[in-house]
Chains A and B, each alone.
Chain A
Amino acid sequence: MGILTSGRIVAFIAFILAWIATYLGIELGKRGKVRIRRLPALDAMEEAVGRAVEMGRPVFDIIGMGTFTDIYATQTVAGLSVLNYVAHLCARLGAKLYAPQASVDVMPVAIEMVREGYLAEGKIEELNVDEQLPYLSGTQFAWASGILGMASRLKPASVIMVGPFWAESMMFAETFDRLGALEIGGTARLYQIPFFAAVCDYVLIGEETFAAGAYLSGDPLQTGSIACQDWYKIAAIILGVIGAILATAGLPWVSQLMSI
C-alpha cells in the first residue's frame, strides 16, 4: 500500500465510489428512475406570479452574479432552471417579468431560457429582451445598486431570487421587503442563507436550491446528481448513527476507520 498516502485511504475509496455513484446516478436519471419530491417554495412561485397579475405589477427573477467558471456554477444552473419555469408562468398568466443580468457568460443562456418559456406559451411577441433582461454590471456594488434602482422604479409585486448570492443578499431582501414584494429566496452559499431565511416569505435552503432546479428542468444530469448526493448523505447518516452508538458503548470503530 506504499503508493497510497496513509490517513487518506478511506477518503480515496470514498472518492472513487463517488465517481462511480455519479455515473450510476446520471444513468438512472436518464432512464427516468429518479423522482425528486416537490418543494413548497415551488408552489409559492405560482402564487407569486398570480399576485403580480392581480396587482398589475411586475415579477423580478434574480439569478445572482455567478458565472459558469466559479465553484457556484451549479447554483447558477439551478437559478436558470427556475428562471425558465418563472418565464413560463409569467407568459401564461400575463405578468411582466424582469430578470436583470450580471454575468456576460450566463446572460445568453438566461435569454434563451426566458425566450423558450414565452415561446412555449405562445406569447413570444410580448417579450422585449433588452428591456426585460438588461445587463447591469459584474461588479458587486454596481450590480446591487443597479437592482435597487430598478426595484424602486418598477415596484415589483413578487421577487424570486434563486442562485448564488453574496453580501448583496441583505440589501436585496431588505429593499424588496420595504417595497412590499412577496419574496422567494434560495441559495446554497452558506453565509447568505440566514438572510433569506429571516426575511423571505419562502426560502430554499442550501441543497434545496439544486433539488428545485433539477425538479423543474428534469435534466438527468441534475436529477442523477441529486440521487448520488442522497446516497452519500444516507451513508453519512448511517455511519454517524452506528458510529455514535458504538462509540457510546466504548467502541470508537467508525472514527478510527475514518482516519485510515
Chain B
Amino acid sequence: MSMWEKLAAIPREIVLTIVLIAMIVPAIRPFGLPIMVGKMSKDWYNTVDSLPEGSIVLFDIGFGSGGYPTLGPCAIAALHQMFEKHLKIVIMATALEGSMMYPLIMEKVKPEKNYGAEYGRDYVFLGYIAGEQTAMAAVLGDIHTAVKEDYYGTSIEQIPLLQEITGPESFALVAYLTTSGGIAEGWVYQAYSRYKLPVVGGFLSMMTPSLKPYYDAGALKGILDGIKGAADMEYMTHHPGDAMRATDILSATQTIVLIFIIIGNISYWGSRLSKREGEK
C-alpha cells in the first residue's frame, strides 16, 4: 500500500474519534468568537421588530426531538424577541412531537417571570394538531370552528386572546420552525398564497437552499437558517444560549471536516499521478 493509498483509507473509527474530540474540547473550553449576522436572520428580526405592540403572531412548532438541538434555540430566541416586543402569540404544533417541545422551550423563555406576560391573555398554546397542511388551513381559516380547547383542556371561549381572533386577517404574522419540507412549504401555500399573510420560517440549514426561492420571491419575509440563524437571533436579542456556545464547536468540527476533505483530495490526486508516473 503506497503512502497515498494509506492517506485515502484512514479507518472510519479514527476519523470519527477525531471528530468527537473536536466537539468535546471547545464545548469545555470555548474560544468566544464573534458572530456575523446574516441577512436572512436580520430580515426575520426586522419583520418582527416592525410589528406594532399587541399584534397577534401565529407561531408553529413544527419539529420534534430530532430538530430540537438546532430549532429549540431558534424558538427560544425568537420568542424572547416577541415577548419583549409585547406581541401576543398563538402557539401551535404541526409536528407530532411538537407539543413535547413546548414545555422545554418555555422553561427557558419564562414569559411570566421575564416579561410579565400572562397565559391566555398574551399567549396561548393549542397543542399538536394533526394533518399538517389541513391543520394549518383549518386554524387560519376559522380557528373557532377548528379548535375547541387549548393544550391544557381550557375551553377556548374562556381564553381572551383567542376571542380577539376573528379570521385570518387577525394574524399580523405567521412564524414557523420546522424540520419537515412539507410543513415548510405548507405554511407558504396556506398562509402566504391563501391569505397573503406575512410569513417567516426557520428550518434546518440543509433545507435552506431548496426553500430560499420563496424568500427571493417575497413569500418568506425572513429565514432562520438552522443553528446559524439561532446564534444570530441570540446575538440580536441579547439572550446568549446554546446556539452561541455551539458556534465555537462548529468552528472546530467544520475545520476538521475541511482538513479531511483536503486529505481526501491530496491522496486521490497523489495516487492518480503516481500511477500515471508508473505507467510511463
Contact flag (A, B; Cβ within 8 A): yes
Q: What distance in Å separates the Cβ of B184 from its nearest Cβ neighbour in chain A?
A: 10
Q: Are B210 and A191 in contact (CB under 8 A)?
A: yes
Interface string of A181-196 (1 = CB under 8 A from B): 0000000011100000
Q: Are A191 and B206 in contact (CB under 8 A)?
A: yes
User: Which residues 83-120 in B have Cβ within 8 Å of A in the complex?
Assistant: none
Pick the contact of B181: A7, A8, A178, A190 (CB < 8 A): A190
- A71: chain B residues at CB < 8 Å are 182
Q: Are B181 and A191 in contact (CB under 8 A)?
A: yes
Pick the contact of B196: A7, A178, A190, A191 (CB < 8 A): A7
Whether, in the assembled complex, B207 has its beta carbon less than 8 Å from a beta carbon of chain A, the answer is: yes
Q: What distance in Å separates the Cβ of A206 from its nearest Cβ neighbour in chain B?
A: 10
- B207: chain A residues at CB < 8 Å are 191
Which chain B residue shows the least CB distance to A192? B206
In the assembled complex, the Cα of A75 lies from the Cα of B27 at a distance in Å of 42
User: Which residues 125-167 in A have Cβ within 8 Å of B in the complex?
Assistant: none
Q: Are B182 and A190 in contact (CB under 8 A)?
A: no
Chain A interface size, as a band, is: under 10
User: Which residues 166-194 in B have Cβ within 8 Å of A in the complex?
Assistant: 181-182, 193
- A7: chain B residues at CB < 8 Å are 196
User: Which residues 85-125 in A have Cβ within 8 Å of B in the complex?
Assistant: none
- B181: chain A residues at CB < 8 Å are 189-191
In the assembled complex, the Cα of A106 lies from the Cα of B210 at a distance in Å of 28
- B210: chain A residues at CB < 8 Å are 190-191
User: Which residues 175-216 in A have Cβ within 8 Å of B in the complex?
Assistant: 178, 189-191
- B12: chain A residues at CB < 8 Å are 178
Q: What distance in Å separates the Cβ of A198 from its nearest Cβ neighbour in chain B?
A: 11
In the assembled complex, the Cα of A71 lies from the Cα of B133 at a distance in Å of 12
In the assembled complex, the Cα of A178 lies from the Cα of B16 at a distance in Å of 15
Interface string of B202-234 (1 = CB under 8 A from A): 000011011000000000000000000000000
In the assembled complex, the Cα of A188 lies from the Cα of B159 at a distance in Å of 44
Interface string of A49-91 (1 = CB under 8 A from B): 0000000000000000000000100000000000000000000
In the assembled complex, the Cα of A190 lies from the Cα of B210 at a distance in Å of 6
In the assembled complex, the Cα of A71 lies from the Cα of B209 at a distance in Å of 20
Q: What distance in Å separates the Cβ of A7 from its nearest Cβ neighbour in chain B?
A: 7
User: Which residues 1-19 in A have Cβ within 8 Å of B in the complex?
Assistant: 7-8
- A189: chain B residues at CB < 8 Å are 181
In the assembled complex, the Cα of A8 lies from the Cα of B207 at a distance in Å of 27
- B193: chain A residues at CB < 8 Å are 8
Interface centre among A178, A189, A190 (most CB of B within 10 A): A190
Q: What distance in Å separates the Cβ of B88 from its nearest Cβ neighbour in chain A?
A: 27
Q: What distance in Å separates the Cβ of A236 from its nearest Cβ neighbour in chain B?
A: 13
- A190: chain B residues at CB < 8 Å are 181, 209-210
In the assembled complex, the Cα of A189 lies from the Cα of B12 at a distance in Å of 28
In the assembled complex, the Cα of A190 lies from the Cα of B180 at a distance in Å of 12
Interface centre among A71, A189, A191 (most CB of B within 10 A): A191
In the assembled complex, the Cα of A190 lies from the Cα of B182 at a distance in Å of 12
In the assembled complex, the Cα of A229 lies from the Cα of B207 at a distance in Å of 24
Q: What distance in Å separates the Cβ of B246 from its nearest Cβ neighbour in chain A?
A: 20
Interface string of B234-267 (1 = CB under 8 A from A): 0000000000000000000000000000000000
In the assembled complex, the Cα of A189 lies from the Cα of B207 at a distance in Å of 11
In the assembled complex, the Cα of A183 lies from the Cα of B217 at a distance in Å of 36
In the assembled complex, the Cα of A8 lies from the Cα of B196 at a distance in Å of 11
- B196: chain A residues at CB < 8 Å are 7
In the assembled complex, the Cα of A8 lies from the Cα of B194 at a distance in Å of 9
In the assembled complex, the Cα of A190 lies from the Cα of B207 at a distance in Å of 8
Closest A-B pairs by Cβ, 8 of them: A190-B210, A191-B207, A191-B210, A191-B206, A191-B181, A7-B196, A71-B182, A190-B181
Which residues of B come within 8 Å of A, CB atoms?
Answer: 12, 181-182, 193, 196, 206-207, 209-210
Knowing that A71-B182, A178-B12, A190-B210 are A-B contacts, what are 9 other residue pairs whose CB atoms are under 8 Å apart, sorted by A's residue number? A7-B196, A8-B193, A189-B181, A190-B181, A190-B209, A191-B181, A191-B206, A191-B207, A191-B210
Can you list 12 pairs linking A and B with CB atoms under 8 Å apart? A7-B196, A8-B193, A71-B182, A178-B12, A189-B181, A190-B181, A190-B209, A190-B210, A191-B181, A191-B206, A191-B207, A191-B210
